[in-house]
Structure 1
Amino acid sequence: MVRVRRLLFLPLLLVLPLTACAEREDDPAPEAAGSGDFPVELSPEGAPSVTLEQRPERIVSLSPSTTETLYAVGAGDQVVAVDEMSTAPEQAPRTDLSGLTPDPERIASHDPDLVIVESDTDGKLTESLAGTGTATLVLPAPQSLDAMYTQFELVGTATGHRQNGADLAEQTRSEIEKLVADTGDAGTELSYYHELDPSFYSVTSATFIGQVYDLFGLTNIADQGDPSAQGGYPQLSAERVLEADPDLVFLADTRCCGQDAETVAQRPGWDTLTAVREDGIVELDDDTASRWAPRITDFVDTVAESVSRAAA
C-alpha cells in the first residue's frame, strides 16, 4: 500500500530523508515584514490566478516541494503546518494532514490565511476554504527546470520575500548550469535506468526527472521509442533492463524499499549488468531525486559525479 501511495503521488510532485549535508537551509537575508508590494496577483502555470491582499502570516503547505521552497526563501516563520510527506526541513511543523486527500475542516483548524496545494482539480478545496476567508494557491508540478525557477520566484512573491525568491531561482539555475558545463559531453555515450521501486517502475525523458538526466546527454532505456507512454512512468521488467544493459542504474528506492548496490547485484542475472560490474549503481535520496525543490542541486550533483566516473 505504501508503494502504491507513493507512485500515485509521483506524477503530482514528480516523484524522489534528511541528512545534515543534504538539507539545504540557505538562511536567506531577512526582508522587512510586509514587503512584497501587496496586494499581489499570482498566476501559477496550469492553475487559477490568486490575489493576496496582504502578506500571509499563517501558511499551511500540503506540498513537500513547496514546503522546502518556503523555508529556502525565508518564509519559514510564516508556516504553521505542513503535510505528512513534508520531511524537509527538519524544523517544519509536520502534521498528519494529507496533500493527496486534503480535509478542509482539519486544514481550517490551523487557522491559515494561505494554503498551498499541488492539485485541486475540482476546485472544492478552494471553495471550502474560501468560506473561511482562506486563500488557496495551487502549484502544480512544473514540467521543466524553467518552470521550477518560476515557482521559486512565485513563492517568494506570495510570501513577501520577492527578492529572496528571485535570488533562489538564479542561484539554483547557476549551480545546475555549472554542474552540467563542468561535466561536458561525458554522458553522451552512456545509458541509464532510473528505478522508482523494486517492481521496475521508472521514468522517461518526458518527465521532470528525465529532463535532468537529459542535461547530461544520457540515453534513457525506459523511453522505448515513446517517452510519453504511460504518462512517462512505465513499468519495465527485469528482462528489459538486462537486455538494455545500462551503464548506470540510479536507485530512487533506497529509503522506501531498502534497495542498494548489494541488493541489486543479488537480483537474478543482474550481476552481469555493466552497471553492476563497473560500479555504476548510484544510490539516491528518494526525496531529493523526486522534488522540484532547491535541493534538486544535490540530485544534479550526484548525476554529474556518476556520469564523470562512468565515463573515465
Structure 2
Amino acid sequence: MKMKGITIIISIFLVVAILAMSGCTSPTVQPTTGPTTAKYPMSITDDKGRVVTIKKMPERIVSLSPTNTEVLFALGLGDRVVGVTDYCNYPPEALNKTKVGGITNVNVEQVAALTPDIVFAASLTKKETAERLDSMGYPVFVNDPRNLSDIDKSIMNVGRACGAEENATRLCNEINASIKAITDKTATLNDSQRPRVLMLLDTYDFYVAGSNCYGDDLIKIAGGQNVAYKLDDYKAMSKEAVIDADPDIIIMPVDQYSQADFEKLRNGTEDWMTQLSAVRNGKVYAIASDPIFRPGPRVVDAAQDMAKIIHPELFK
C-alpha cells in the first residue's frame, strides 16, 4: 500500500502513467521547416532561475519528463528528439525513442552517449544529474509547468530554445482559443450552478487537488467549485475531511494502476464511501490520468473531459 502511495505522489508532479487518451483534440502543429529567426548562442532563464546558454540550434534533444516530450512533439520537433524517459508514452512515436531511465533515476551515461545539444529536465530531475550533464557540456534546461498559467511560458521557452518560436506561438494561440470556448460557457455560472467537486487521486493516502495547482485550474475552467480549496497544491486530505466536505462530484484520474481503486469508490465497497453523496448518487467519474498530471498541450483534452463531467448540459 505504501508503494502505491509513493507512486501516486510522483505521479502528481510528472506522472508515471501508461494510459494515453484516445481521440485527442488538443492542437498540434506541423514539423518545423525552413529558416528560423533564432540566433545562437542564446541564453534563457529556466524554471529553476538558472540562465542556460544554448550554443547552437538543437538538432539532438533529450527529454527527461513526459510533459517536455509532449511539448516537443506538439511543436513538430519529434524528429529531433533522440532520447526520452521510460514513462514518455505520448504521442505513440515517443515509444520508439531511446530510453534514458526513469524520472528520478536518469542514466547519465546513456544521455551522454546520445550527444544531445540540449536536455529538457523537470523539477524531479536530481540536482546532481543536471550538474553532471552540465559539466559534460550538455546544457540542461528545467522546464516544469505546474499550472495553467505556466503552459504558455513552457511552450514558448521550448520553442524559443529550439528555433520553433513561430510554431510555439501558433500552438499557444490554438490552445488558448480552445480553452476560451469552454470558459465562454462556464464563466457566467453563479455559485449555485457550480457543483462542488473533489479531484481525488486515491482512497488510501487521500491525495487531492487543492488550490493553486493544475487540477484546481481545470475544476474552475470546467465550471466547478473545488471543495479542497483550503489545501494548497496537491496534499493529503483525511478521510474524515473528505466525508465532511461531501462533494457533489468526485473525479479520479485513472490509469491501469489505479483502476481498481476507482472501482472500489464508485461501487461504494467500504462503509465510509457510502456516506458520500457523490457515491450514493452515482457521481464518481474516472478521467484519463496523463492529461491531468501533465500541464501541457493536452490541456484542452483535460479541460473538455472535465467540463463534460461537471456540466454535461453545456457540453454535449
Normalised by the length of structure 1, the TM-score is 0.86
3-state DSSP of counterpart to 2:172: helix
Q: Gaps (5+ residues) in structure 1?
A: none
- 1:79-118 matches, cutoff 5 A: 79-92=81-94, 93=97, 95=99, 97-118=101-122
Partner of 1:307: 310
What amino acid sits opposite 1:197 in the alignment?
Answer: D
Q: Aligned partners of 1:122 and 1:22: how far apart in 2?
A: 32
Classify the secondary structure of the residue corresponding to 1:234: strand
RMSD: 2.8
1:311 deviates by 8.7
**Alignment-derived partner of residue 248 in structure 1:** 249
State the distance in 2 between where 1:54 and 1:91 align. Answer: 25
2-structure distance, mates of 1:14, 1:218: 24
Q: Does 1:188 align with 2:187?
A: no
Matched, 1:128 2:129: no
Instruction: Give me the whole-angstrom Cα distance separating, in 1, the residues matched to 2:52 and 2:124.
Output: 13
Correspondence for 1:65: 67
Q: Which stretch shifts more, 149-158 or 129-138? A: 129-138
Q: For 1:62-100, what per-residue CA distance to the aligned partner results, in whole angstroms no more than 9, with x for missing partners?
A: 111110000000110000110011111111116251221
**1:105-155 C-alpha deviation (Å, 9 max, x unpaired):** 23212222211110378743333223332111111333x422211111111
Quick check: 1:239 aligned with 2:245?
no
How much does 1:212 deviate? 2.2
2:214 is equivalent to residue 212 of structure 1: no
Q: Take 1:15 and 1:118, find their aligned partners in 2: how far apart are those partners?
A: 14
1:134-178 residue CA offsets vs partner (Å, 9 max, x unmatched) = 111111333x42221111111111111110011111111111121
Instruction: Say which is worse superposed, 71-80 or 244-253, in terms of deviation.
Output: 244-253
Q: CA deviation at 1:29?
A: 5.4
Deviation at 1:291, TM superposition (A): 0.6
Amino acid at match of 2:242: V
Q: CA deviation at 1:272?
A: 5.2
Report the equivalent of 2:144: 140
Identity of aligned residues (%): 24
Which residue does 1:221 correspond to in 2?
227
Q: Which string of whole-angstrom CA distances, capped at 9 and with x for unpartnered residues, describes residues 13-63 of structure 1?
A: 389722431375724253326653333221234331212121111111011
1:282 matched to 2:288? The reply is no
| Count of residue pairs the alignment pairs up | 305
Q: Which moved more, 1:245-254 or 1:235-244?
A: 235-244
Matched residues in 1 for 2:190 and 2:269: separation? Answer: 26
Partner amino acid, structure 2, of 1:285: A
Cα gap change, 1:94 to 1:187, in 2 (>3 Å): farther
The whole-number CA distance in structure 1 between the counterparts of 2:138 and 2:50 is 15
Question: What SS does the corresponding residue of 1:309 show, helix, strand or coil?
Answer: coil
Task: Point out where structure 2 has 5 or more consecutive residues left out of the alignment.
Answer: none
Name the counterpart of 1:161.
164
Select the residue among 18, 21, 26 that pairs with 2:20: 18
What amino acid is the match of 2:216? G
Letter of the structure 2 residue corresponding to residue 239 of structure 1: E
Amino acid at match of 1:284: I
